[in-house]
Amino acid sequence: MTWLPFASYNLWSLFAPAVGQENWHCDMKRGFTKARGKETAIAQILKQDNIPQRIGHLAQRGVYEFHQDHSMLNRSNAVQIIAETLQLNQETEQVQERVDLILRKYQENPILKDKHIIHLTRGDEGFPQPIQIQQGNYLFNLYAAIDCIFTEDDILHILDFKTGKTDFDLRQGFVYLLAVSYLYPQQPAIASFYNLETGKWSKPISATSTQLKAVQIEIVQIAKKHQNDLQRYRKNIAAFHQIFPPNPGRTCQHCQFKSACEFSDEVTA
């Protein structure tokens, strides 16, 4: 398979913070994830879910299990059965409690009930299939890890599940709408976010073809800058901290790379 540069919402969020998240942004995380991800120690870190990621994956899997068997939503012991399928008893107490609550809440308010679901991921599939896109003379792969798509009145509804206090990022909705415009051309689509812990459902997001074009141009710019950074790093690995500048501060407390990052000491010292 021919190698192609890539773009994704994940890369965009690593590259530039969402509005209001500027203080929490650290470009060095992009460096660890994308430039040094094959180093043994970093690969080890990347393999392990942190607590929010673990809860997110198990919650997604829980929703998936509720919809594998339609009778499940009405069974009094459904949460127990799904918890066993997820092997929840092998997780930490915090993860068990929160996922158990998520499953209970979902059974009380199963938002996908009676929806015509055309795509629902388990949450552990890894990388989605890339979508090849040509922008001028630039060919790239777009990756969009879409949790769920259902149809409603002939409109595709892209739904992204959230857990915890994660804010909704409009950019994610736009990237997913762009992906769907290639996967299901000619079909109108909207996107929304649903927090499985708080029950908060965002307003639907839609985009005109002009807006989607602008999103495509933006992610191509990011893909190019990112490839440029990777090339600079490969030529001069000692310049890691200049190419991917650290932003030590409160964000280090929850950073998965703090054990590998020499700059995290500035916080704990």
Site residues for ligand SF4 per CB under 6 A: 26, 28-29, 246-248, 251-252, 255, 257-258, 261, 263-264
Q: Which is nearer to ligand SF4, 107 or 264 (CB)?
A: 264
CA distance 25 to 216: 23
Q: Which is nearer to ligand SF4, 32 or 174 (CB)?
A: 32
Q: How far is CA 245 from the centre of its chain?
A: 23
**Residue closest to 19 by CA, chosen among 222, 169, 226:** 169
Q: Which is nearer to ligand SF4, 9 or 263 (CB)?
A: 263
Query: DSSP letters along 140-180, please?
Result: EEEE----EEEEETTEEEEEEEE-TTPPP-HHHHHHHHHHH
Categorise residue 167: left if φ over 0, alpha if ψ from -120 to 50, beta otherwise: beta
First to last CA, the chain: 47
Q: Which is nearer to ligand SF4, 195 or 264 (CB)?
A: 264
**Residue closest to 100 by CA, chosen among 88, 85, 113:** 88
Q: Which is nearer to ligand SF4, 41 or 118 (CB)?
A: 41
Rounded to the nearest whole angstrom, what is the least distance from the CB of residue 193 to ligand SF4 in the complex? 25
Rounded to the nearest whole angstrom, what is the least distance from the CB of residue 34 to ligand SF4 in the complex? 13
Rounded to the nearest whole angstrom, what is the least distance from the CB of residue 19 to ligand SF4 in the complex? 19
Rounded to the nearest whole angstrom, what is the least distance from the CB of residue 253 to ligand SF4 in the complex? 9
Report residue 238 as tokens: 């000692």
Rounded to the nearest whole angstrom, what is the least distance from the CB of residue 163 to ligand SF4 in the complex? 21
Q: Which is nearer to ligand SF4, 163 or 251 (CB)?
A: 251
Rounded to the nearest whole angstrom, what is the least distance from the CB of residue 233 to ligand SF4 in the complex? 15
Rounded to the nearest whole angstrom, what is the least distance from the CB of residue 255 to ligand SF4 in the complex? 3
Tokens 């290639």 map to which residue?
Answer: 182
Burial class (CB in 10 A: 0-12, 13-18, 19+), 136: exposed
Calculate helix-pair angle for 78-85, 93-108, nearest 10 degrees: 140
Q: Which is nearer to ligand SF4, 29 or 98 (CB)?
A: 29
